[in-house]
Amino acid sequence: MDFTYDDEQQALREAVRGLLATTYADHEARRRTVADDPGFDRALWGRLAEMGVLGLPFSEADGGVGAGPVEIGIVCQELGRVLAPEPYLSAVVHAGGLVAAVGTAEQKADLLGRLSAGEIVLAAADTSPGGRWASRADGVRASVSAGSWTLDGVADPVMGGASADHLVVTAALPDGGTGVFVVDASAAAVTGYVAADLTRAASVRFEASAATPLGEPGRDLSPSIATISDLTRIMGANQALGVMQSQVRATTDYLKSRKQFGVTLNTFQALTFRAADMYVSLELAHSTVDWATMTIAGGDREVVADAADRVGLQVSRAARHIGQEAIQLHGGIGMTAEYSVGVGTAHLTVLEQWLGNAGHHLTRLAARVTDHEMVDAI
Amino acid sequence: MQLELSPADAEFRGRMRDVFTTKVSPEIRDTVLEGRHLTRDQIVEAQRTLNAEGLAVPHWPVEWGGQDWTELQRHLWHEEMQRAGVPIPLAFNASMIGPVIAHFGTQEQKERFLPATANLDIWWSQGFSEPDAGSDLASLRTTAVRDGDDWVVNGQKTWTTLGQHGDWIFTLVRTDPEVKKQAGISMLLIDMTTPGVEVRPIELIDGGHEVNEVWFTDVRVPGDLLVGELNGGWTIAKFLLGNERVGVAPVGATKRALAAVKANAGPLMDDPLVRARVAELENELLALELTALRVVAHSSDGAPHPASSVLKLRGTELQQAVSELALDLAGPASLAARAGDDSPQEGWARRSAPTYLNLRKASIYGGSNEIQRQIISRTILGL
Ligand SMILES: Cc1cc2nc3c(=O)[nH]c(=O)nc-3n(C[C@H](O)[C@H](O)[C@H](O)COP(=O)(O)OP(=O)(O)OC[C@H]3O[C@@H](n4cnc5c(N)ncnc54)[C@H](O)[C@@H]3O)c2cc1C
């Protein structure tokens, strides 16, 4: 039982923080980057690859580094801290995670090797228009004829989809169940758009698009899909934690420096108390994020699924509280795209609705609430 | 970072579970588990049982019965105790005055008081608050004036919890009215049977009698009952209040209370709104428990981690929220609060309203939640 980072983990954090600071030293740099396609910095992406960060979750046999969940969580926190628009969560954690979970040895070595090296970008297409966080595909259908697979239907939103070379698609199988396929981006109609936090998503239409099944063709892979979604949720919570830490710090600094009525804002207790409550939300979320991240190492899917719901609920609530208060306590400047705090709230909003909002997680937890007498941390 | 307890800590936890569930009387544990009131004798008996096992005051110096445990072990001890329905050792003795005497007391004071305090042979009361000194404790007015070898004490304390059972009271008194208010305060130990000490009950909104006023009229206190330096009382008070805040988030007890709510709810547990409220509270309690573990992992040498204010603040809010849920589930049955045991309404439901009302205190005492917000914003956020 230990909540502290070891020296290597600290070193990783500092290295990633240092690298991100070369590109996103201030919010203005992020604004410039997201203003143009592809919406992230390809040079930085390459340097993340060189540093081994893109291969962190994958085994060495697959061309990765074989690091643990705590290390991946650290990277996500650092990306969140500077609101980095790089598609790490969508390309590496989510799409790469799907390939690692269900691909054959050759598929993994090929796709994950190139992903880790920064040669290709992947995106996971697992949401249908109007769909809500299901591990069962209903927007895209797979068909097979003479051993060749094709996909039809629409996936939207596909996070990071506009700049992906290959799409990792969940699709309904002809005989029931959900399979996972790789589709070359050129085989689908990809329409990119800008999400609420100015990162990029896409609407993808498949029309008899040629697809390669990942793993054994025709097998129902929904349990693995659900697990990878859970892991992505937990890593998304790490990213949200980084954002919230920055917001609490920025708000505290602002209260100490902004003057109104001839005094700095921290003279007003009504405001300092609200900042204290933000800190309480932050610390409780932080504890839950660390815990959920640590449950992954145990390898039990059900434990991880439960942790994903718990951290999803806790972090969604904290994100609303901290994100909204950060804007409010900044006043007008908090509303501007020029300033990081409000954009951070936009990013928290996107993470939440992409990975599952509080209501979704609470519904799932409420369904299981009589299965246990009490919930124990350890 | 790792989640599992080490084999040694897991073994430790098992040992605690074992002692708490086999050595402490089942009647006492049932009383706690069902949320009924303990008698003075039951509280004393439970603490003596723990003391005999070396488990009443593990955080004291080893020479006075402490157990050189890690912070995590202390945490496990505390949680397992609450989980098993064992009354935690009387806070005034075990968490407040004991550590103070061990740290600031003279050798004579240690020998005279510490063994008796650990064993609850002396029941201590806390005489800090006064009618005009609550959150602003330093403005207290009870005076102690030197007369020969003795101190002569005059004034009034209030909110003295369980003062009706008290044998001795540790007080903060003004020993120098001329200096800045924090600088003129001392700590005195006062035998409550001394002539001139009068304890008057205060009735609370739940109908119970747990707090009192304590009046001092020309009470003579021997000079050797001053703790620490003359006029050094404020330092001692800060030391004591810091200890008070640690372990003040009763996670184990609140988890147990929520489990009881679920067990008592019957068909109401089919209501989606009830399920959602329970699930939400369980999640908040998990986050709090994890935060307690994080704080434990980071506090060194028993010094309170600054984030312990988070535990006090959130811990009391959740304690109150669980009592609120129990009340809502009891509904009309909660009206039978004072109906007595032959009422057709179930005991938990009858107790729900007094419990709900009584627990409103949790966010007031021990440094109110507003004071905790002040501590967080000033000392942690630097505002
Ligand atoms: C059931 C119970 C048991 C107790 N037991 C004991 C005991 O055994 N021994 C003992 O010595 N004392 C005891 N206390 C006293 C307790 O410590 C005080 O009640 C507490 O410190 C608050 O003081 P007060 O009641 O005077 O409220 P006040 O200090 O008058 O506060 C009134 C309200 O104003 C808020 N407030 C005060 N100052 C500030 C500020 N600077 N900024 C923002 N808000 C502020 C408070 O949070 C509160 O909400 C007990 C109290 C209760 C209710």
CATH number for position A138: 2.40.110.10
Last residue of a domain, one of B162, B197, B231: B231
For ligand 1, the distance from its centroid to the CA atom of residue B367, given in whole angstroms, is 7
Give CA–CA dist A31/A19, Å, rounded: 18
Q: Would you state the pLDDT for residue A12?
A: 97
Give CA–CA dist B43/A17, Å, rounded: 54
Give CA–CA dist A79/A13, Å, rounded: 10
B286 and B161 part of one domain: no
pTM as predicted: 0.94
Question: Which of B158, B203, B365, B377 most suits a substitution to test ligand 1, by most atoms within 8 Å of the C-beta?
Answer: B365
In-domain check, residue A377: no
3-state secondary structure of A154: strand
Please tell me whether the peptide bond between B61 and the residue prior to it is cis, using omega within 30 degrees of 0: no
Nearest by CB to residue B377, choosing from A273, A287, A298, is A273
- Where would I find the H helices in A51-141? 69-81, 97-102, 105-107, 113-116
In-domain check, residue A139: yes
A239 and A360 part of one domain: yes
For ligand 1, the distance from its centroid to the CA atom of residue A184, given in whole angstroms, is 67
Instruction: Say whether residue B135 is in contact with chain A using an 8 A CB cutoff.
Output: no
| Mean per-residue pLDDT, A7-14 | 97
A262 and A281 part of one domain: yes
- Using one digit for the tens of pLDDT, what is the confidence trace for A138-197? 899 999 999 999 999 999 999 999 999 999 999 999 999 999 999 999 999 999 999 999
- Using one digit for the tens of pLDDT, what is the confidence trace for B56-67? 999 999 999 999
Question: Which of B90, B97, B159, B185 most suits a substitution to test ligand 1, by most atoms within 8 Å of the C-beta?
Answer: B159
B257 burial (CB, 10 Å; 0-12 / 13-18 / 19+) is buried
A181 and A100 part of one domain: no
Chain A residues 340-369 with CB within 8 Å of chain B: 362-363, 365-369
In-domain check, residue B14: yes
Containing structural domain, residue A69: 7-120
In-domain check, residue B1: no
In-domain check, residue A35: yes
Chain A residues 279-298 with CB within 8 Å of chain B: 279-280, 283-288, 290-291, 293-295, 297-298
For residue B1, which residues of chain A lie inside 8 Å, CB to CB?
Answer: 2-5, 9, 70, 290, 293-294
Q: Would you state the pLDDT for residue B323?
A: 97
In-domain check, residue B101: no
State how many domains chain A has: 3
- Using one digit for the tens of pLDDT, what is the confidence trace for A287-334? 999 999 999 999 999 999 999 999 999 999 999 999 999 999 999 999
In-domain check, residue B257: yes
Catalytic residue status for B244:
yes
For residue B289, which residues of chain A lie inside 8 Å, CB to CB?
Answer: 376-377
CA angle B77, B78, B80 (to 5 degrees): 65
Quote the minimal CA–CA distance from B315 to chain A in Å: 11
Give CA–CA dist B175/B187, Å, rounded: 9
For residue A283, which residues of chain B lie inside 8 Å, CB to CB?
Answer: 291, 294, 307, 310
A143 and A56 part of one domain: no
Instruction: For residue B82, give the CATH number of its domain.
Output: 1.10.540.10
Nearest by CB to residue B381, choosing from A70, A275, A370, is A275
For residue B254, which residues of chain A lie inside 8 Å, CB to CB?
Answer: none
B179 and B254 part of one domain: no
In-domain check, residue A47: yes
In-domain check, residue B170: yes
A50 and A17 part of one domain: yes
3-state secondary structure of B174: strand
B373 and B256 part of one domain: yes
A233 and A364 part of one domain: yes
B259 and B192 part of one domain: no
Q: Are A71 and A93 in contact (CB under 8 A)?
A: no
A359 and A261 part of one domain: yes
Tokens standing for B51?
A: 């003391």
Cα–Cα distance list, B342 to A182, A346, B309, B326, B339 (Å): 70, 59, 43, 21, 8
Instruction: For residue B174, give the CATH number of its domain.
Output: 2.40.110.10
Instruction: Say whether residue B335 is in contact with chain A using an 8 A CB cutoff.
Output: no
For ligand 1, the distance from its centroid to the CA atom of residue B365, given in whole angstroms, is 5
B135 and B85 part of one domain: no
- For testing contact with chain B, the best of A8, A267, A286, A374 (most B CBs within 10 A): A374
A254 and A265 part of one domain: yes
Instruction: Say whether residue B382 is in contact with chain A using an 8 A CB cutoff.
Output: yes
Containing structural domain, residue B283: 245-379
For ligand 1, the distance from its centroid to the CA atom of residue B159, given in whole angstroms, is 9
Q: Would you state the pLDDT for residue B295?
A: 84
Give CA–CA dist B349/B335, Å, rounded: 9
Instruction: For residue B269, give the CATH number of its domain.
Output: 1.20.140.10
- Using one digit for the tens of pLDDT, what is the confidence trace for A242-286? 999 999 999 999 999 999 999 999 999 999 999 999 999 999 999
Tokens standing for B367?
A: 């440094």
A108 and A17 part of one domain: yes
- Using one digit for the tens of pLDDT, what is the confidence trace for A112-131? 999 999 999 999 999 999 88
Q: Would you state the pLDDT for residue B303?
A: 61
A108 and A147 part of one domain: no
Question: Which of B128, B132, B135 most suits a substitution to test ligand 1, by most atoms within 8 Å of the C-beta?
Answer: B135
Ligand 1 atom index nearest CA of B366: 17
In-domain check, residue A1: no
Q: Would you state the pLDDT for residue A341?
A: 97
Last residue of a domain, one of B198, B231, B264: B231
For ligand 1, the distance from its centroid to the CA atom of residue A4, given in whole angstroms, is 36
Instruction: For residue A254, give the CATH number of its domain.
Output: 1.20.140.10
Give CA–CA dist B258/B82, Å, rounded: 13
Instruction: For residue A48, give the CATH number of its domain.
Output: 1.10.540.10
Nearest by CB to residue B297, choosing from A2, A70, A295, is A2
**What is the separation of C-alpha A155 from the centre of its chain, rounded to a whole number of angstroms?**
18
Nearest to B330 by CA among B264, B257, B241: B264
For ligand 1, the distance from its centroid to the CA atom of residue A219, given in whole angstroms, is 64
Q: Would you state the pLDDT for residue B247?
A: 61
Q: Are B304 and B379 in contact (CB under 8 A)?
A: no
For residue B288, which residues of chain A lie inside 8 Å, CB to CB?
Answer: 284
Instruction: Say whether residue B291 is in contact with chain A using an 8 A CB cutoff.
Output: yes
In-domain check, residue A2: no
H/E element, A144 = strand A140-145
For residue A269, which residues of chain B lie inside 8 Å, CB to CB?
Answer: 374
Contact B290 A291 (CB under 8 A): yes
Last residue of a domain, one of B176, B198, B231: B231
- Where would I find the H helices in chain B? 7-23, 26-33, 40-52, 71-83, 91, 98-104, 107-118, 233-245, 251-265, 272-298, 308-330, 347-358, 369-375
For residue A277, which residues of chain B lie inside 8 Å, CB to CB?
Answer: 373
B203 and B258 part of one domain: no
Question: Which of B93, B216, B368, B373 most suits a substitution to test ligand 1, by most atoms within 8 Å of the C-beta?
Answer: B368
B323 and B364 part of one domain: yes
Contact B3 A1 (CB under 8 A): yes
B178 and B264 part of one domain: no
Give CA–CA dist B128/B169, Å, rounded: 10
Q: Would you state the pLDDT for residue B242?
A: 75
B141 and B83 part of one domain: no
In-domain check, residue B277: yes
For residue A273, which residues of chain B lie inside 8 Å, CB to CB?
Answer: 370, 373-374, 377
B338 and B365 part of one domain: yes
In-domain check, residue B296: yes
Instruction: Say whether residue B307 is in contact with chain A using an 8 A CB cutoff.
Output: yes
Give CA–CA dist B232/B183, Å, rounded: 7
Last residue of a domain, one of A101, A120, A139: A120
In-domain check, residue B187: yes
- Where would I find the H helices in A82-221? 97-102, 105-107, 113-116
State how many domains chain B has: 3
Instruction: Say whether residue A270 is in contact with chain B using an 8 A CB cutoff.
Output: no
B28 and B150 part of one domain: no
A36 burial (CB, 10 Å; 0-12 / 13-18 / 19+) is exposed
3-state secondary structure of A200: strand
Quote the minimal CA–CA distance from A266 to chain B in Å: 6
- For testing contact with chain A, the best of B78, B261, B269, B283 (most A CBs within 10 A): B283
Selecting among B79, B210, B244, B289, the annotated active-site residue is: B244
Residue ranges of chain B with per-residue pLDDT less than 70: 244-248, 299-304
Instruction: Say whether residue B33 is in contact with chain A using an 8 A CB cutoff.
Output: no
Nearest by CB to residue B1, choosing from A5, A285, A366, is A5
A277 and A210 part of one domain: no
3-state secondary structure of B199: strand
Quote the minimal CA–CA distance from A62 to chain B in Å: 26
A65 and A91 part of one domain: yes
Longest C-alpha distance within chain B, in Å?
A: 72
Pocket of ligand 1 (CB under 6 A): B 126-129, 134-135, 159-161, 211, 361, 364-365, 368, 370-371, 374
H/E element, A210 = strand A200-213
Instruction: Say whether residue B122 is in contact with chain A using an 8 A CB cutoff.
Output: no
